A and B are shown apart, each in its own frame.
Chain A
Amino acid sequence: MAEVTYLEALRQGLREEMRRDERVFILGEDVGRYGGAFKVTEGFIDEFGDRRVIDTPISEAAIVGAAAGAAHLGMRPVAEMQFIDFISCAYDMLTNYVATSRYRANLACPIVVRGPCGGYVRGGPFHSQNPEAAFLHTPGLKIVCPATARDAKGLIKAAIRDDDPVLYFEHKYLYRRIKEQLPEDGDLVTPIGSARVAREGTDLSIVTYSAMVWKALDAAQQLEKEDGLAVEVLDLRTLLPMDDAAILATVRKTNRVMIVHEDTRTGGVAGEIAARINEAAFEWLDAPVLRVTAADTPLPYAPTLEDYVLPQVADIVMVARKLASY
């Protein structure tokens, strides 16, 4: 067992898949000689050559489109968005071309589009986004959001092996802050579509994903200490397809549910989760499903502004107390 960061775990997963399967290749901006803006693919060009680690022009639509074309022919491309904010430049290609290809043309499109998402890093409005809600609405795509180093590795491996297009949103705040003991040998794969109970509890449930898992765990600890509450934290890991069974299980267990995400509130993932709970488990609820999210603004740069807009542990604690006492 060796202690690795979230970023190193992701790198290991990519490298192992490239060694395992010669159909896997990487394309993106500055991914080759430079090793990627965050050095995720550092050293890859030396090991795999410029045939399999391809530097592209600044062309997100072409990166995704070319990945799709290669995937049709049986390749397993991994396309990097330098910051996930730029995935919107490939929105047409992803939603109209990639996501529909199997349905409309029986054409497999097993691509992975990955990139750093998320705030708390003073990145401003265009280097901090969480774009999952924009794609949750698109049948044909899968979306994964690892919160741990284990899942950073396990989900990239699963995404590469998946026969459908997978968006892999890695949180840049976690890159070097999260460390975990991971086995050095063995094939560590996290199944897509499967949530994980990050903390067992009986009084209320926090359904969350990505970096918010850690804030939820901090909040749960505080609530246990100060309020004696046993808070369950469910780490969704995959948003599409959503692990409905795991969500319903925690609803039935605690009967009080809140959803926490870093993305903005209106039209966010939390709304969809709340609707599913409402449809499938209304009788199990002792309180309305509550949300903690970012405020509905673009993400500002100044620390005072960013911290105000993004969800904090204190926000989660406050809403959890409201939920517990409802």
Chain B
Amino acid sequence: MKSIIGMSFQGIIRFMILSFVMLFSGTGYTQSIDAGLRIQKTQGMYWENGLSIQYQFANFKPERFLLGFDYITSRLGTAYNSNAIKQDNFLVSGSWLFNKTKAYHIAPRLNVGYFYSDLEFEIFDEVPNTSFLLSPELGIRYHFKELPIKLNLGSGYYILTAKEGYSPGTLQPLYFHFDICYTLLKNKSNE
């Protein structure tokens, strides 16, 4: 597979898993870890689904700030068993939760990340297929009191500054996503 930013696609996946393990191992600093599924639809383009991991840190705004890692791909959406383009989005995000005493939170988020689309054939080597990602987002997050489950509904807009014709065509700006996450770890001593 074509390399991107000097790493193969498998390399990036390994890097993300390693990052997850490193953060996970630092549980002394962790208030909670939620992980789950992310279902995303881009306006006028693909369904792209994947994983979402959200951290809350014990010693930095534990009920307010979330650090997130998301991997979403059309491989698990429109491109599954079809001729659609296989593309991957790697996102790191910071969210701020309002209404901290309530079950639901208004949650603005800022994402940065990387987009890669696999154009598969050598003749398309010069067609733009990667992009830096930056997107502000607004969402609403709900956590069940009796269950270790959180729901998140959000919509964001990729700020794409590349000149027209120099950005991957299947990367479109407006997207909507729904996440359902399970609390893997919760450090009660810090509550």
A, B: real partners: no
Q: What is the interface of chain A, defined by CB distance below 8 A to chain B?
A: none
Q: What is the interface of chain B, defined by CB distance below 8 A to chain A?
A: none
